[in-house]
Every structure is written in C-alpha cells, then in structure tokens.
C-alpha cells in the first residue's frame, strides 16, 4: 500500500492549488481536478445506495465492484498518463447491465427519479456520473484521457439507470411514470 496519512491537513492547498498523483501541482479548479473530483463524488453517491437496507445481493455485489473501479478511475485521472480502466471493466459492466435489464419490462415511458430510498439514491448517482463523464470529456479536449475511462463512465450511468429501475421495483413495486404536460394550463 502507498502512503498512509497520519496528518490530514498539510496547508499546501491553502493558496488554491492541489497535488496530483505524480507530484505536480495544479489549481484546485483545473479540469483534471474537476474530473477526478466528480468521479469521487459519483463513488460517494454509490456509497449512499449501498447504505440502503435490503438491497438485492446481486445489485450490492455489482455496486461494490463499481466503487473499486471508481477509486481506480479517480487515481487514473489524478496521475497524468496513468491507465487502470480497460475494456475488461467495460465488458464486465455491460454484462451486469444486460443481466439486470433482462428482468425488466421494456421502457415505454419516461420515468421520474424515485421509487424508494435506494432507487432515488441510485438515480442521484446516475446524474452525478453523467456530470463526471462531461468533466472527463472537458479534460479530454485539453489533455490526454484514455477512451476507456470515458466509455466506462458512459456505461456506468446506463448501469445506474437500470439498477435504479430494479431497485424501484424491489422497494415499492414500480417506477414513477412521468405524465408530461398533459392537461397543464
């Protein structure tokens, strides 16, 4: 294992810069820090889903593996040129996504985020993941970012959408359907 933190504050970031994994320093609002920070936020949101009681074991197992992937992805983005996430990660996510989706009825209408505490938390994780993907693409326009990292985030948001559908059915028996503006004055 790498460095252990015996002291949490260092005062090195008090002037608005932070250290990357390679030792270089960048502004705290740099595209790279925004990208890996939003991946970290996604990971925390997945943790909220995992904190819900009574999750189906298959979903719990998938989300736990995803948390490890997201930690690796954050490290990848924190160290310029470092690569961790590969096609095997994407393929595993697609396989899990397909397995969850196979048990669901086809989606014929838009659904609203909700359906129970875990499902709502999963929808929140999905939207944060989409932002992480956008931040990753912003970074990729300026610096090298592995395509697999961005594809992984895209597929993860799809996975989280399907997982939210599964959890809504598990928690409350169904999803909240959007009614649109029909009948609105």
DSSP 106: P
pLDDT for 14 equals 63
- Place 184 in a pLDDT band, splitting at 50, 70 and 90: low
Look-up: residue for tokens 């949490």? 8
- When pLDDT is averaged across residues 157-176 and rounded to a whole number, the result is 93
Strand partners, 52: none
pLDDT, tens only, 2-57: 666 677 767 766 667 777 788 878 777 789 999 999 999 999 999 999 999 999 99
Under a CB-based contact definition with an 8 Å cutoff, are residues 3 and 93 in contact?
no
Architecture field, domain 25-174 = Up-down Bundle (1.20)
What are the residue ranges spanned by the domains of the chain? Answer: 25-174
Residues paired with residue 112 on neighbouring β-strands, in sequence order: 176
Give which of 35, 152, 181, 36 is closest to 90, Cα–Cα.
152
Site of tokens 């970290």: 40
Phi, psi dihedral angles at 177 (to 5 degrees): -85, 135
Q: Residue 115: enclosing H or E segment and its boundaries?
A: none
* Minimum mean pLDDT range among 105-109, 134-138, 150-154: 105-109
């Amino acid at each position: 294992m790498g460095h252990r933190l015996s002291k949490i504050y260092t005062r090195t970031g008090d002037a608005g810069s932070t250290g990357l994994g390679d030792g270089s320093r960048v502004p705290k609002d740099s595209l790279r820090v925004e990208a890996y920070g939003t991946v970290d936020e996604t990971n925390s949101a997945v943790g909220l889903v995992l904190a819900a009681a009574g999750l189906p074991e298959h979903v719990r197992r998938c989300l736990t593996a995803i948390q490890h992937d997201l930690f690796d992805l954050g490290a990848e983005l924190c160290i310029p040129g470092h690569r961790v996430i590969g096609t095997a990660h994407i393929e595993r996510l697609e396989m899990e996504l397909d397995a969850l989706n196979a048990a669901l009825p086809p989606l014929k209408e838009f659904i609203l985020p909700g359906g129970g505490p875990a499902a709502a938390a999963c929808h929140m994780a999905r939207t944060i993941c989409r932002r992480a993907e956008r931040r990753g693409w912003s970074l990729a326009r300026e610096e090298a970012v592995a395509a697999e990292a961005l594809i992984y985030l895209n597929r993860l948001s799809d996975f989280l959408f399907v997982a939210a559908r599964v959890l809504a059915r598990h928690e409350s028996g169904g999803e909240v359907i959007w009614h649109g503006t029909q009948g609105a004055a």
